[in-house]
Amino acid sequence: MSEKKEVSNIEGFSSRRFQKLTEENRELKAYVAEVMQRLRQNERLFSRMFELESQVLKSTDPEDLCFTLLRGLRSGFELDFVRFWLDRSSFMGGHKLDALSERDLVWVEKGEIKQMGLSRKRAWLVQLSAESSFEWLDAQDQHLGSIALLTLGDLDKPFGVLGVGSVDRDRFAPDQSSDFLQHLSQVVGMTLEHAVAREHLARLSVTDTLTGSHNRRFLQPHSHQPLSQWFGKTKVACLYADVDQFKLLNDRLGHEAGDEILAAVSKALRAHVRSNDPLIRMGGDEFVLLLPGCSEEKAREIAEQTVQAVAGEELKDGEKTSISVGVAFSAVDKDMAVKALIAVADQAMYVAKALGGNRFEIAESDSGSGDES
């Protein structure tokens, strides 16, 4: 009897042990399946992230970079909300970023990021509700269930915040891992800083430090191009300005006065034109101003105003200076090279100088007629 009971107990124990092993095996399989699913999700996530990073690194300027990030995050990560908040007092404040709408970008004032407490760590995960909201969100963002706030730049001196959001309250719940988001925060911050630095260096390389105008290096890539390739199919006016007796003034009054003259000429040429009209210091005391879409009447007016403005400048010891300006226009029926138009304006400038200076001359047209001031 005892043997039968012992056998029965052993069988019962074995049965229970087998059931437990079966249950543990089922749980293990479920766990492995869940881990594999997460690994596949993470693989897809990092694949999309790598693709986005590659696109970002190809961006040519801060505006293009921000636009690429916004578009890539929305489409590649199924987000319902993506927005930059950038500190107006930071290095980003000098960039207009016109391609970004008010929904894409909001400027905040100095210290606001720290006041919100966002500079204490890289990533903040927030579940949103009527009782728990984020004050930088608008009324039109009330449909969001959760957001992640990524601090950009050095935490001691952040320059912005990138917000990404979802209607799903669990997407960015505080108990979720934020490793990926912290990585994204650092990538976005560093690439924006590098993009601004690259743009600044590129601008310096084609900028004349004395006058703030472009230098000859800026013109080099365009010099042999047809005007239409640079400005499109439109008539272009060109002003070529040269300071009268500059070397004598520079020798008599000193280099500091010479620098003041060049700065005054640059300012006078800029006074009545659009901010994107190329003004180039060709070297020494010579300047070229290109005016796409400018009428002949307007170009004459600008030339006259520039000559008068420079003549009105008073230098050291009451000395005066003046400039000679040549004005040329591209032919309507001929797509001139940029350097050819500049050469015609240069010739007209020499005519103005030969006639005594302090004047402008219009280059002769193809028909042979010319005008003078």
* Residue bearing tokens 């992230």: 49
How does strand 236-243 pair with strand 323-329? antiparallel
Q: Of 318, 313, 315, 309, nearest to 360 (Cα)?
A: 309
Q: What is the pLDDT of residue 372?
A: 47
What the block records as the tokens of 261 is 């003259």
148, 172 contact by CB (below 8 A): yes
What the block records as the tokens of 163 is 């917000």
- Angle, in degrees to the nearest 10, between helices 62-76 and 2-57: 150
Q: What angle do CA 18, 24, 30 make, to 5 degrees?
A: 140
Q: What is the pLDDT of residue 5?
A: 57
Q: What is the pLDDT of residue 296?
A: 93
* Residue bearing tokens 């009545």: 272
Q: What is the pLDDT of residues 144-191, one digit of tens each?
A: 999 999 999 999 999 999 999 999 999 999 988 888 888 888 888 888
Element (H, E) at 41: helix 2-57
Those residues whose C-beta lies under 8 Å from the C-beta of residue 25, and which sit 6 or more positions away, are: none
Q: What is the pLDDT of residue 373?
A: 47
What are the Cα distances from residue 241, in Å, to 79, 280, 282, 288? 55, 10, 10, 6
Compute the chain's Rg from CA coordinates.
Answer: 34
327, 361 contact by CB (below 8 A): yes
Those residues whose C-beta lies under 8 Å from the C-beta of residue 168, and which sit 6 or more positions away, are: 145, 146
What the block records as the tokens of 102 is 């008010």
Measured between its terminal Cα atoms, the distance across the chain in Å is 133
Which domains does the chain show, CATH number per domain?
59-203 (3.30.450.40), 216-372 (3.30.70.270)
349, 240 contact by CB (below 8 A): yes
348, 328 contact by CB (below 8 A): yes
Residue ranges in the chain modelled with pLDDT below 50: 367-373
Q: What is the pLDDT of residue 71?
A: 84
Q: What is the pLDDT of residue 207?
A: 84
Phi and psi angles of residue 228, each rounded to the nearest 5 degrees, phi first: -65, -25
Query: Which residues is 127 bridged to in the sheet?
Result: 146
What the block records as the tokens of 288 is 């070229």
Tell me the whole-structure pTM to 2 decimals.
0.60
- Angle, in degrees to the nearest 10, between helices 179-205 and 62-76: 150
Residues, the chain? 373
Q: What is the pLDDT of residue 43?
A: 54
